[in-house]
Amino acid sequence: MSGKKTADALIIGGGIAGLQAALDLADQGFRVVIVEREPSIGGKMIALSKVFPTLDCASCITTPKMAAAAHHENIEILSLAEVRSLAPDGDGFDARILLHPRFVREEDCIGCRLCEYACDVEVPDDFEGGLGAHRAIYVPFTNAIPQVALLEPEHCIVCGKCVDACPTGAVELDQEPREIEFSAGAVIVATGFRLTDMAAKPQYHAPEIANVISPLVMERLLAPHGPYGRVLRPADGKVPDSVAFVQCAGSRDRTLGVPYCSRVCCMYAIKQAMLLSGALPFAEITIYYMDIRAFGKGYEEFYQNARAMGVEFVKGKVAKIEEASDRGVVLRYERIDGYGQVEERKHDLVVLSLGMLPACDLSDRVPLRVADDGFVNVPRPATEPCLTDRDGIFVAGTAAGPKDIVDTIAQAGAAAMAAANYLAKTRAPAEKEPVHA
């Protein structure tokens, strides 16, 4: 174990919430460390195609924040890292952080990808929803930060080609996990969300039916640098003539233990439907829904635009999904806008609008309580949405509950401000190092 380091704030999770909170604190002169368990910061947002309601390119607005955090003199980013334990210590906290081996020395890697080109092993690429492949040693994605390769030992055949190809000698096959200690004055939990499991509803037969996909896979299909560079259905590479979205396929469903609304599924389905109308002008696009919840600024207009563009909205609950003999997908649904007729329709490709589930698995290591729904407990959500039930620990973004990006960023700013106030009360101001004097 290396010696103990200090930071004003420890931020757990380097998605858009963690990055925004880190930047807001660092700009005030606080020293921040971000602990991110993936090999790159950016969270889910960096994998999105465009964002509702403005249809801005998602990576064009996420990458500058990632770069700003990476280059900020008051921010240290620990990727492939996890909090092992967090214990109160006076007014602050003592954290033990586990650094997983990358098998590439971060300080020496120049991101040239020569190791990747030399490697012969192909592995399904999770960033592309499994539709593309990466090598056993690879840079996670084009605008990953840090822009450093990592090697997956479970796929490596130890042929040594990457070691020979690396111009800086950065590949280090015998790296071991390391633990470091941090002492921090405040903690912000920004661990985000995960999606409902595709297999959660057995009657939908996902993921056995390859042409039933998750919304994050559709984001990658729509992204300019996605796995195919165009929208093709995964089972056979056909250009789909008809695409359907099944709403509430993981939210507002007591059988799944998810009674709440995930708040973003209506809007991301409408966004994807609009983008598909542009990418596949002759395709029929249908959204099967119970209610459309277009609650934010400009969202209702966005929904009305989708209708005007010809996206069909069918008020009905999908009961069953089956595969047709030509690899099409048959939906059986009950209409809820008429007399409850049960109808069937075939589509080429179906997207399940999965719900948002909590991703915070820290409660056994961090003195933090989660609520009954599994999200971080916020005792006074109406007035103090970023305060947890523990002094000095704050929450930002979807770690506290389903949210869109606008609300995530607003809450991250509020969490940074609350942490700054807390630090000002518990620490001597002289310890601060203002950046903008």
Backbone angles phi, psi at 218, to 5 degrees: -65, -35
Report the distance separating Cα 336 and Cα 313, nearest Å: 12
CB of 124 to ligand FAD, least distance (A): 19
Among 3-11, 29-37, 65-73, 172-180, the segment contacting ligand FAD (CB under 6 A): 29-37
Using the rule CB under 6 A, which residue among 408, 415, 419, 423 binds ligand FAD? Answer: 408
Told to check if 35 binds ligand FAD by CB under 6 A, we report yes
CB 79 within 8 A of CB 127: no
Taking the CB of residue 328, how many other CB atoms lie within 10 A of it?
A: 21
Nearer to ligand FAD by C-beta: 298 or 340? 298
Told to check if 127 binds ligand FAD by CB under 6 A, we report no
Among 63-71, 186-194, 320-328, 414-422, the segment contacting ligand FAD (CB under 6 A): 186-194
Told to check if 171 binds ligand FAD by CB under 6 A, we report no
Using the rule CB under 6 A, which residue among 30, 52, 302, 313 binds ligand FAD? Answer: 52
CB 192 within 8 A of CB 362: no
Taking the CB of residue 95, how many other CB atoms lie within 10 A of it?
A: 26
Nearer to ligand FAD by C-beta: 35 or 393? 35
Report the distance separating Cα 144 and Cα 117, nearest Å: 17
Nearer to ligand FAD by C-beta: 48 or 162? 48
Using the rule CB under 6 A, which residue among 24, 76, 82, 125 binds ligand FAD? Answer: 82
> Considering just the CA atoms, what is the radius of gyration of the chain in Å?
23
Q: Let me know the angle formed at the C-alpha of 258 by 345 and 386, rounded to the nearest 5 degrees.
A: 130
Told to check if 362 binds ligand FAD by CB under 6 A, we report yes
Tell me which residue of 110, 158, 374, 413 sits closest to 256, measured CA to CA.
374
Report the distance separating Cα 23 and Cα 416, nearest Å: 9
Q: Taking the mean position of all CA atoms in its chain, how far away is CA 371? A: 21
* Complete DSSP assignment for 342-411: EEEEEESEEEE-PPEEE----TTTSS--B-TTSSBP-S-TTT-TTB-SSTTEEE-GGGSS---HHHHHHH
Told to check if 16 binds ligand FAD by CB under 6 A, we report yes
Told to check if 403 binds ligand FAD by CB under 6 A, we report yes
Q: Distance from first CA to last CA of the chain, Å, rounded?
A: 36
Using the rule CB under 6 A, which residue among 359, 378, 387, 423 binds ligand FAD? Answer: 359
Told to check if 264 binds ligand FAD by CB under 6 A, we report yes
Told to check if 329 binds ligand FAD by CB under 6 A, we report no
- 427, two tokens: 């620490």
Using the rule CB under 6 A, which residue among 48, 150, 212, 416 binds ligand FAD? Answer: 48
The interaxial angle of helices 215-222 and 265-279, nearest 10 deg, is 30
CB of 14 to ligand FAD, least distance (A): 5
Told to check if 247 binds ligand FAD by CB under 6 A, we report no
Told to check if 270 binds ligand FAD by CB under 6 A, we report no
Among 6-14, 171-179, 241-249, 297-305, the segment contacting ligand FAD (CB under 6 A): 6-14
Nearer to ligand FAD by C-beta: 170 or 270? 270
Nearer to ligand FAD by C-beta: 166 or 386? 386
Is the N-terminal amide bond of 207 cis, ω within 30° of 0?
Answer: yes
Taking the CA atoms of 374, 378, 380 and 382 in sequence, report the sign of the dihedral they define: negative
Count, residues near ligand FAD per rule CB under 6 A: 39
Using the rule CB under 6 A, which residue among 192, 226, 227, 367 binds ligand FAD? Answer: 192
Q: Let me know the angle formed at the C-alpha of 118 by 115 and 119, rounded to the nearest 5 degrees.
A: 90
Told to check if 14 binds ligand FAD by CB under 6 A, we report yes
- 135, two tokens: 């090598």
Q: Let me know the angle formed at the C-alpha of 107 by 102 and 111, rounded to the nearest 5 degrees.
A: 75
Report the distance separating Cα 291 and Cα 116, nearest Å: 47
Told to check if 196 binds ligand FAD by CB under 6 A, we report no
Query: CA-CA distances (angstroms) from residue 138 to 172, 188, 387?
Result: 14, 30, 39
Told to check if 65 binds ligand FAD by CB under 6 A, we report no
Among 25-33, 47-55, 285-293, 297-305, the segment contacting ligand FAD (CB under 6 A): 47-55
Among 14-22, 60-68, 126-134, 150-158, the segment contacting ligand FAD (CB under 6 A): 14-22
Could you list the residues that contact ligand FAD (CB under 6 A)? 12-18, 35-38, 43-45, 48, 51-52, 82, 190-193, 195, 215-216, 219, 264, 268, 271, 359, 361-362, 397-398, 403-406, 408
